[in-house]
Amino acid sequence: MGAPQFPDELIKHEKKTPAFPRESKKKGFSRFLRILGPGIVTGAADDDPSGIATYSQAGTQFGFHMPWTMLFTFPLMTAVQEACARVGAVTGKGLAATVRDHYSKKILYPVVALVVTANTFNIGSDIGAMAASTRLLLPNVPFALLAVTFAIIILILEIMVSYRTYMHILKWLAMALFAYFITAFMVRVPWVEILKATLIPHVELNKDFLYIIVGIFGTTISPYLFFWQTSNVVEDEIAEHRLAENTQSIPRISKPYLKRLRIDTAVGMLFSNVSAWFIIVVGAVVLNRAGITDIKTAADAAKALEPLVQSFPNAGFLAKLIFSIGVIGIGLQSVPILAGSSSYAVSETFNWREGLFRKFKQAREFYFVIIFGTLVGLIFNFVGFDPMKALVLTAVFNGIAAVPLIYLIARVSAREDIMGEHKSGVWSKLGLWTAFLVMGIFAVALLLSFL
């Protein structure tokens, strides 16, 4: 494939608006922070309430048998998300739009239906977790009122706040996860034993173990992140004037830009996996070693943070406060991403105008899908689901749903007619197909364990 030909209006625009005009002046840490964008937001969103619950349950139930999963999933997760980011950067389109242009509707519709179903269930479980966590602090406020309130707040933020402002908000909400980092250094962690458990995998072929393993894979390598990051990179290109907003143009990309995306993605995935590793370790040290092997309520999960505030009066309440703030903060971040991921997929499928950079009146269908997905997810909380069990079940469902989607991403990102010179190389292919095979094997093993 030859070099892409850019429309004259884009070439002119490029001369007027050079990409990253201040980038060369920024050095060190300030430049590093500027690099961070869709990848760090995607990585932080990966540790949503469903992820926090799944990682906490993994450490609580199985102790030091689970830390290895984070070292194992990091390269696989990075490979999948890097491929998604590259597809968005090169094509200037979201994942569903790319599939629509190059595959039949027999493939497109099931793929979109799968991710929308998974996302909607995830939205419901995350909103339920936010409401349940808030009741730790406000036990007299009805669960239903809290759930509805959070859904309304999330919709207002996603619809009314500008894309750039919203991106900055999402970055800072991720800081809530640092409570687990600090807690880990305030308790007696057997670091040698933990290091050994991180480097040497432990696998048990029983239903309970497989259930948590698939849940860990599902909440780490999640379907909604595939669609979100692909489309979010396109939003980033439009915001940086690499891609014209209203034309079917070819994005202006370069090797430095793709390198920046890879760094952003790797940092985001590293932040996600390190955070998850600390959640597992804290659960194992604080809860499992105290004889607690099952998390049934938000209050049970909050106990993992009590060592953080044990020297203060009312340590139990403070632990609940920190836990609640973390779940609410991450939930406010992840639910809009879940709903946005579904909306990108549906809008691209039917070729509707899309994008968080557009105002509501410019992309009504796009925002209506966000509203509908959030409200349907909200309804799940009124049909008798246990909030904590629903969080882990959501992760398991994502772990199964991700398998066919990774297969599709591996195929799309390797096609020269789609990606040109930027198609997947050897290492990308190795990571993608390893993720597909490993997650597929564990998913099948779990399903067979129920027979």
- The pLDDT of residue 430 is 96
Q: Band of the pLDDT at 11, cuts 50, 70, 90?
A: very low
185 within domain boundaries? yes
Three-state secondary structure call for residue 425? coil
Eight-class DSSP state of 383: T
Range from 215-219, 221-225, 238-242 that averages highest in pLDDT: 215-219
Residue 206 to residues 177, 210, 218, 447, 449, Cα–Cα distance (Å):
31, 6, 18, 11, 7
- The pLDDT of residue 174 is 62
Residue 15 has pLDDT above 70, yes or no: no
Three-state secondary structure call for residue 185? coil
74 within domain boundaries? yes
Residue 7 has pLDDT above 90, yes or no: no
Ranges 51-60, 122-131, 314-323: which has the least confidence: 314-323
CA 245 – CA 180 distance, rounded (Å): 41
302 within domain boundaries? yes
4 within domain boundaries? no
Residue type (1 letter), 33: L
29 within domain boundaries? no
Q: What number is the average pLDDT over the span 142-155?
A: 93
Ranges 11-15, 183-187, 289-293, 320-324: which has the least confidence: 11-15
- The pLDDT of residue 167 is 61
Numbers of helices and strands, H then E, in the chain: 20, 0
CA 227 – CA 224 distance, rounded (Å): 6
Model confidence pLDDT, tens digit, residues 82-107: 999 999 999 988 899 999 999 999 99
CA 340 – CA 226 distance, rounded (Å): 12
- The pLDDT of residue 179 is 80
Q: What number is the average pLDDT over the span 179-183?
A: 83
- Count Cβ atoms below 10 Å from residue 424 Cβ, excluding itself: 24
- The pLDDT of residue 229 is 85
- The pLDDT of residue 355 is 80
How many structural domains are present in the chain?
1
Domain that includes residue 333, residue range: 39-449
Q: What number is the average pLDDT over the span 53-81?
A: 93
- The pLDDT of residue 26 is 47
CA 22 – CA 37 distance, rounded (Å): 16
Phi, psi torsion values for 353, nearest 5 degrees = -65, 135
Cβ(197)–Cβ(65) below 8 Å = yes
207 within domain boundaries? yes
344 within domain boundaries? yes
Return the percentage of the chain with pLDDT > 90, whole number.
46
Indicate which CATH number applies to the domain containing 51.
1.20.1740.10
Task: Output the six-digit token pair for 369.
Answer: 């899908």
Cβ(64)–Cβ(312) below 8 Å = no
34 within domain boundaries? no
Task: Output the six-digit token pair for 389.
Answer: 């069990």
Higher pLDDT, 169 or 129: 129
Contacts of residue 186, defined as CB under 8 A and 6 or more positions apart, other chains included, come to 307, 308, 310
Q: Could you give the dihedral angle defined by the CA atoms of residues 318, 320, 324 and 327, in that order, rounded to the nearest 10 degrees?
A: 120
Q: What number is the average pLDDT over the span 2-17?
A: 39
Higher pLDDT, 138 or 254: 138
Task: Output the six-digit token pair for 286.
Answer: 């604080």
Ranges 146-155, 232-241, 350-359: which has the least confidence: 232-241
The pLDDT mean for the chain works out to: 83
Nearest CA among 139, 180, 107 for reference residue 329: 180
Q: What number is the average pLDDT over the span 259-268?
A: 85
Model confidence pLDDT, tens digit, residues 387-426: 788 889 999 999 999 999 999 999 999 999 999 999 999 9
Q: Could you give the dihedral angle defined by the CA atoms of residues 129, 73, 447 and 84, in that order, rounded to the nearest 10 degrees?
A: 80
State pTM to two decimals: 0.84
